[in-house]
Chain A
Amino acid sequence: MNVTDLVDAREQATPPPEVDSAATSGARVGSLLRPFAGKFAVVVALQVIGALAGLAPLLAVVEIGRGLLASGPVDRDHIWTVVIIGAVGLLVRLVFTSASFGLGHYVDGAVQLGFRRMLAAQLGRVPIGWFSRRRSGELAKVVGDDVSAVHPFIAHAPGELVAAFVVPLASLIYLLSIDWRLTLITLIPVLLAMLMVPFFMLPARTQEQKDFDAAMGRIASSVVEFVQGISVVKAFGGAERAHQKFLRAADDFVDIFSKWVRGMSVVAAAMQLWLSPPFVLLVVLIGGTSLITGGDLPAADLLPFLLLGLGLTAPIAALGHGFDDMQTAGRAVGRIKEVLDVEPLPEPENPVVARGHRVELRDVRFGYEDDQEVLRGIDLTLEPGTVTALVGPSGSGKSTLVQLLPRFFDPTHGCVMLGGVDLRELGSRELYGTVSFVFQDVRLLRASVAENIALAVPKADHDDIVRVARLANIHDRTLELPRGYDSIIGEDVKLSGGEAQRISIARALLADAPVLVLDEATAFIDPQTEHAVRQALTARGTDRTVLVIAHRLETIAHADTVVMLEDGAIVERGSPEDLLARGGKFAAFWQAQQSAVAQVEPSGAAVPGEETR
């Protein structure tokens, strides 16, 4: 498979997606559905015609009864005509409802695909930081299950709901034309059932429904956790206790579920009884017999009520039946809209081109939560051709700072500039073409090794991929795989953490971007790789802008500039020699590091200035 295949052909064919953050999710969902409006209308029309035609055989039975029960000679021709009309009615019903079903599901598939693509596009635009507060499994559920839950809405609701109202309405009018008293009597079961509806809406029921949903969510996340943490579950043993959280969630769920069902069982049973054919027939028969014995109704007129009366309950049944589906779909739509409503990082209308690749941070403030600032006024310039080492205690904001460069977040105040242009004015393609990074949490795709390496440079050729793979020390291992560079990660081979890390390094090397941001702890995974990466980075030599979260004293010692971060602010900056000589916070930090290293490895570490550069 060629790497460029990964990029869908439509990349060339269609303009980039409109990024209209002002459009509400509702409007976007509407615009998604609009092209299908005509088809929906056809689905409904077919279903209604088919359902009405379904009344024909029932009316035929009525007519046959009338003909046979009428006094005097039987009109045989009329009766046979009626039989034929009934049979034709059945045929029409068959053809039209089948067509409606087929078309409905076809449209449904297209709409679902549209929804999923819309969600995927949205997920590709929201700030990266938004993901850190969400479980990816839950988002996958939105794209998968929640969109599927809309299915009854699209495929069934238009046709079936309309039919469920139109047909009983037609029946009702017909029955009224025969005898209004018996019609009203026939409606008694519907009335009884409607009286039950409020019982389903009691606050207690709504609360139970909410509890049920919450319990279901807990089950889903506890099982994800259980499976992901299975190695810990096993290591800390005791099938009995380690997964008790899952079992507790399960118990909880079953209890809530039982309570919910018990709360409704009597009401639900009563409702089902009122709508059941035996009860409806009983009511019609009692009413009919009273009217017939009183001489108020010809016996033959009872027939249409026996045949069509049952159909009058259809709307209630459809509502009751569809109620759950509709609630589920409603909640699903809510979750879908929640995702669609996230403000994406705004793309500039007229992207400006950066001049050079000096990086400047001007009075940058940032916090993940409104009330907690992680960066508090950072002013920093990274010159091309220099290496800047970011040091500081854990929790000082180093990781957050470097994540602003690839625009995982926008600063809440101040700006980050690349080549004199605010990142926000820069097109995202250009930004990502310029800034490359190696961070923690390497994620490989279930795609070939070559594709994974070329992820950021889809058009790279094979030689380039091999070259960077060699540099990142993953080439030999790749050749050992069953299908070499075409081996699918996760299917043909499972890579270890270190190997995955190497692939991510190869990615960054291939991208060869003029600005490189990396976390030393993850970039230098073993002596061989560290060596290779250092060489590869310096090979480009001249004008790369490098920002590194530095942990090793040797890296710090060889940086052009050291920036010491503490509690979200820069406390010291300068060349490592100057800073050491100043004897301030950095010097203290250096001493602490050195003694820490000495504790681990007594042979001592490099001291700036003592080595040749």
Chain B
Amino acid sequence: MIGLLLRVLGNEYAKPMRRTVALMTVTAIVEGLLYALLVPVLHKLFGANPADAWPYLLGFAGAVAVYAVLRYLSDVSGMRVGTSMLRGMYYKLGDHLARLPLGWYDATRVGDVSTMASKGLLAALGVAAHLLSPFISAMVTPLTIVAVMIAYDWRLGLAALAAAPLVAVIQKWTARSSAAVDAERHERDNEAAGRVIEFIQAQPVLRAGGRTGERFGLLDDALRDVERTSRRGVGAVLPGAVSLTVTVQTVFTLLLVLGTYLGLGGDIGVAELLSILVLAARCADPLLSLSDIGGKLRGARVELERLDTVLRTAPLPEPAEPVRPDSHGVEFDSITFKHGDRVVFDDVSLTVPVGQRLAVVGPSGAGKSTLLQLLARFYDVDAGAVRIGGVDVRSMDTEDLMSRIAIVFQDVYLFDGTIEQNVRLGRPDATDAEVRAAASAARLDEVIDRLPEGWSADVGEGGARLSGGERQRVSIARALLKDAPIVLLDEVTSSLDPVNEAAVHEGIERLMAGRTVVTVAHRMRTVRRADRVVFLDGGKIVEEGSHDELLLQGGRYADFWNISTASTASG
């Protein structure tokens, strides 16, 4: 467990962690030893002269004081280690998430990762701060007490010791049987959480189909699965808890019978026997609490393993010696790329000379957006190479690569914050004047003028408080501010009305000026201005040339164009 914790976090925490564990162990041993003083105290009290007990009692008091100090120190130490681990883990997770390939992120990740960042990390912290100390004390104190018993009476001591291996075996066995159920429960919980999110987001459509909560089978099934799994979880945990209780109680009964037998035979002093029985009763509680603590530890362990899995997912490899290209032509050199089992590109080659504009056209699902993502290295190609200025993007430093590319996405995602913060993301160190200039070039200033809070208007989660066209203007301003030599546009104007489209186009024209541009478009109008057009279908380039050439060719592109103009005419 601690090994896992340290592996997840790295060795810088090993030393304070070891110190904490040592401190907690010493505390537990002191507690056990302190009980040993009970024997002489009781011996004197039950003897002829009870006042002789005082010196031992004084010793007992001294031991309690030592115990108190140790316990405080180990609590504080545990908390300190836990807190610094928590911080370390957040940083590690944050940095790692930013480096994982985009392909890693799918619909279920958002829920997974957010649970991990809240529940998971706190569970890990809890190990050090809350669970470790009771766990160590529940193991070590009874063992110390047993050692004390052996010292006073080996027969009773050994009888008590018999419990130790049994308890250990049961702990292991319970751990194994509940691990499977825990994992399943987690899966069901996540499944249900995903369904709830879906259920909420699809409300309009679901209501149209008359599906209220209890009639939406997918969600209800998920909820019932959660219940069934939790019921099965009880079935898995109960036998372990019961057998632990049986063991502890049997051993106590054994001590009771054996002790009575020995006491009645006069083989052991009454004070010793009674002290040992009191101590045995003292052992029972912490041992019984083991099943509870064990369950919590397992929960924390599962969270840690999950975290470990994420942290061990390899990010896209970084080059040891990054190369910096000195020009910005783009080249796709016979690339092959698979997404899962699906071949997206099969031996595709393309070049865009510096300062030229390439338009990518094709039916949806043809991989147009993926082409842009490969250039920005959201994924790596399976074969071939993507180059910028003749340099493979894989030999470039990611920061450097990203600084050369400005992307305007089809779905604009804005961060919950002000418009200004979102624009500034393009270049955090830009001056106010530069930010204002980018905004007016993207015709974002019109939007800002209209909003009561202006620049400091909050855009809401994902930019929900702005319309599609307004979001798009923010993202163009962001790209303009970034001022990168390569511009990637992904169906930028597909869902805009003409006025917004015109505004956005004006911004885009400014963005494209003098830069290398790859644009994905299905509004045919935007394609005509490109220097070259490629038509993509089925993972291949089907046609390639200028707009006029392709129209003359009368192929797929021409069909596309004709349908597009026909729908305008037929209404």
Contacts and interface: CB of A to CB of B under 8 A. Distances in A.
Contacts, number: 490
Contacts of B75: 265, 268-269, 272
B495 A521 contact: yes
Contacts of A60: 256
Contact of B99 (A117, A228, A239): A239
A86 B256 contact: yes
Interface in B195-229: 195-220, 223-224, 226-227
B343 to A, nearest CB: 11
Contact of A285 (B41, B197, B499): B41
A289 B45 contact: yes
Contacts of B241: 98, 101
Interface in B437-471: 450, 461-462, 464, 467-470
A554 B571 contact: yes
A258 interface: yes
A250 B91 contact: yes
A441 B467 CA distance: 11
A71 interface: no
Interface stretch (A136-144, A180-188, A375-383, A539-547): A136-144
Given A106-B234, A531-B570, A235 B402 contact: yes
B567 interface: yes
Interface in A221-259: 221, 223-239, 241-243, 245-247, 250-251, 253-254, 257-258
Given A278-B35, A495-B365, A596-B503, 4 more contacts: A98-B238, A254-B87, A281-B60, A496-B365
A530 interface: yes
A135 B364 contact: no
A232 B415 contact: yes
A261 B470 contact: no
Interface-central residue, A251, A496, A525, by most chain B CB under 10 Å? A496
Contacts of B67: 276, 278
A302 B270 CA distance: 14
Given A101-B241, A234-B376, A395 B197 contact: no
Interface stretch (A195-203, A330-338, A354-362, A432-440): A432-440
A144 B496 contact: no
B73 to A, nearest CB: 10
10 contacts: A68-B263, A105-B233, A141-B193, A223-B118, A234-B102, A236-B426, A250-B90, A268-B75, A278-B67, A437-B204
Given A265-B76, A456-B205, A11 B215 contact: yes
B505 A220 contact: no
Given A128-B204, A237-B399, A136 B197 contact: yes
Interface in A89-113: 90-91, 93-94, 97-98, 101-102, 105-106, 108-110, 112-113
Given A246-B94, A272-B71, A528 B106 contact: no
A250 B118 CA distance: 10
B256 A457 contact: no
A235 B218 contact: no
A245 B57 CA distance: 58
B242 A94 contact: yes
Interface in B487-518: 491, 494-503, 505-506
Size bracket of the B interface = 35 or more
B61 A282 contact: yes
Contacts of B568: 552, 554, 605-606
A109 B227 contact: yes
A125 interface: yes
Nearest to A555: B571
B207 A144 contact: no
Nearest to B52: A293
B64 A596 contact: no
Task: State the main secondary structure of chain B at its contact with A.
Answer: helix
Interface in B531-558: none
In the A-B complex, the 6 residue pairs with the closest CB atoms: A237-B402, A551-B497, A596-B502, A120-B213, A527-B564, A250-B90
Interface stretch (A2-10, A32-40, A579-587): A2-10
Nearest to A254: B87
A8 B215 contact: yes
Task: State the main secondary structure of chain A at its contact with B.
Answer: helix
Interface stretch (B3-11, B109-117, B166-174, B320-328): B109-117
Nearest to B202: A443
Contacts of B60: 281-282, 285
B159 interface: no
A393 interface: yes
Contacts of B154: none
A135 B413 contact: no
A370 interface: no
A286 B54 CA distance: 8
Nearest to B63: A278
Nearest to B217: A8
Interface string B218-253: 111001101100110110001001100110010011
Interface stretch (B17-25, B277-285, B345-353, B383-391): B277-285
A8 B3 CA distance: 47
Contacts of B118: 216, 219-220, 223
A121 interface: yes
Contacts of A72: none
B464 to A, nearest CB: 7
A278 B31 contact: yes
A110 B219 CA distance: 16
Interface stretch (A75-83, A166-174, A412-420): A75-83
B297 interface: no
Given A8-B217, A64-B263, A90-B253, A137 B270 contact: no
Interface string A590-613: 001101110111000110000101
Interface in A453-498: 455-458, 477, 480, 482, 490, 494-498
A345 to B, nearest CB: 10
Contacts of B200: 123, 131, 136, 139-140
